[in-house]
A and B are shown apart, each in its own frame.
Chain A
Amino acid sequence: MLRHVALAGISAVFLVMLLPFFALADDINIGVVPAEIRIDNLSPGETAKFELTIHNNDAISRSFTLAVSVPPEGQEKTGATQFPDGSWISFSPDRTEVVPYGEANVTVMVAIPREQKWTSQDWETWLGVTAESTDMLGVRLYTRLLVSTNSTVAQRFNVRLLVGIGLPALLLGCGGFYYFRRRARFN
């Protein structure tokens, strides 16, 4: 019993000695996957969804915040124009904590409003992943997001679905009507 108490005491002393070294880490090493993502044929009115993976390569837990960012001037890919509205992109969650040497996934949703003027566009925006810190130097990584929209707006109603259900309903109604009328005549 005494031996167990002594061992616990020694462990506690070592823990207290080690904690400050981890807490005072004076470096930072993070990564994000993917570095670039392209969404093709997104019709205005539709939503695309994908995941970002954040890697914390440090010995301490880190919190990360995600936000849409306008690329610095001249940094967009050739042919791409600035993404019209950052509010069309959402993150779930938009802040996450990652354990030492761990990773976390964040879902990104891109929803283009159902408007004709957003068809046939090529846009670029950057998704910023910032490691929260009170140190003087901080790090932010960007994933390039390239979006090209379809030449047509997504249909609000599915015409084929409406015809597929409506037509048999009509036939069923007509059939029932003639059947009951005929039966009434015989009676």
Chain B
Amino acid sequence: MKAIIAGILVTLMLALVFSLPALAQETGTITITMTGANEISISLDKTQWPLGNVASDTEYETVPAIEWCTLTVGGNCNVNTFITGADAAWVSSPTEYKWTLSSDGSNGEDIYGIWFRISGDTTRGPMSDGYVPVTKTESEFWPYSGGSGSSLAPGDHKQFGLRLLTPTYFISGRQMQTQITISAAAA
């Protein structure tokens, strides 16, 4: 009888010896690696453009026009940068009244346009004058398709300015606010 009990205990111990490693291997091997340089960072030296009162169907440019804001690359990896815009909303009641951002820089009734121009870029854009419409779709800021520029390296900087084209008609006396987002991804 003792031999039987001892046999059962040995069998049980052997089973545990094999089952524990099996439990440990349940999740398999997943490899997670950080590839290349590991910090992405950018800075802008200006984020506000208070315009005051504006008239309808009028263009306004930042001062200075194309060296208004400086984008600087930090971190330790090269980056490609992008730009996207949004509708302008009435500050007091954002859901009640807005100006729609046009998809081509043009304007209309409660429709406005925003353009950007990078310093040194004189032929880019639909008018070949360096100005490019900002749209609600994220699009290339720098470098861009068809251009000769390359990704920005840490320490590089780009200066740019903005141009606003106000709607042909809008309700006056309302403070409007919009946001343009500059984004960056590792090149």
Interface size class of A (residues with CB under 8 A): 35 or more
Contacts of A32 in B (CB 8 A): 39-41
How far does the Cβ of A130 sit from chain B's closest Cβ, in whole Å? 7
Beta-carbon contact of A26 and B40 below 8 Å: no
Does A139 sit within 8 A of B, measured CB to CB? yes
Contacts of B22 in A (CB 8 A): 158, 160-161, 164
Does B34 sit within 8 A of A, measured CB to CB? yes
How far does the Cβ of B176 sit from chain A's closest Cβ, in whole Å? 11
Contacts of A39 in B (CB 8 A): 30-32
Contacts of B18 in A (CB 8 A): 160, 164
A residues 125-181 touching B (CB-CB < 8 Å): 126, 128, 130, 133-144, 146, 150, 154, 158, 160-161, 164-165, 167-168, 171-172, 175-176, 178-179
How far does the Cβ of B59 sit from chain A's closest Cβ, in whole Å? 17
* Known A46-B28, A126-B185; contact A141-B11, beta-carbon cutoff 8 A: no
Does B95 sit within 8 A of A, measured CB to CB? no
Stretch of B46-54, B102-110, B118-126 contacting A (4+ beta carbons < 8 Å): B46-54
How far does the Cβ of B40 sit from chain A's closest Cβ, in whole Å? 4
CB within 8 Å: A-B pair count: 192
Does B92 sit within 8 A of A, measured CB to CB? no
Contacts of A140 in B (CB 8 A): 181-184
Q: Bound complex: CA of A154 vs CA of B48, how far in Å?
A: 51
Does A8 sit within 8 A of B, measured CB to CB? no
Does A80 sit within 8 A of B, measured CB to CB? no
Per-position 1/0 for B137-160, Cβ under 8 A of A: 011100001000000000000000
* Known A35-B186, A136-B48, A164-B15; contact A30-B30, beta-carbon cutoff 8 A: no
Beta-carbon contact of B23 and A158 below 8 Å: yes
Contacts of A42 in B (CB 8 A): 30
Per-position 1/0 for B30-72, Cβ under 8 A of A: 1111111111111111111100000000000000000001000
* Known A29-B43, A41-B29; contact A171-B11, beta-carbon cutoff 8 A: yes
Q: Bound complex: CA of A139 vs CA of B4, how far in Å?
A: 74
Per-position 1/0 for A9-24, Cβ under 8 A of B: 0000000000000000
Beta-carbon contact of B46 and A137 below 8 Å: yes
Q: Bound complex: CA of A113 vs CA of B183, how far in Å?
A: 30
Does B171 sit within 8 A of A, measured CB to CB? no
Does B82 sit within 8 A of A, measured CB to CB? yes
Q: Bound complex: CA of A143 vs CA of B37, how far in Å?
A: 12
Does B80 sit within 8 A of A, measured CB to CB? yes
Interface residues of B (CB under 8 A from A): 1, 4-5, 7-8, 11-12, 14-16, 18-19, 22-23, 25-49, 69, 74-75, 77, 80, 82, 138-140, 145, 177-186
- Can you name 25 A-B pairs with beta carbons within 8 Å? A26-B47, A27-B45, A27-B46, A29-B44, A31-B40, A34-B38, A35-B37, A38-B34, A39-B31, A39-B32, A40-B32, A41-B31, A57-B43, A72-B82, A72-B138, A137-B48, A137-B49, A138-B180, A140-B183, A142-B183, A142-B186, A146-B35, A161-B26, A164-B15, A179-B4
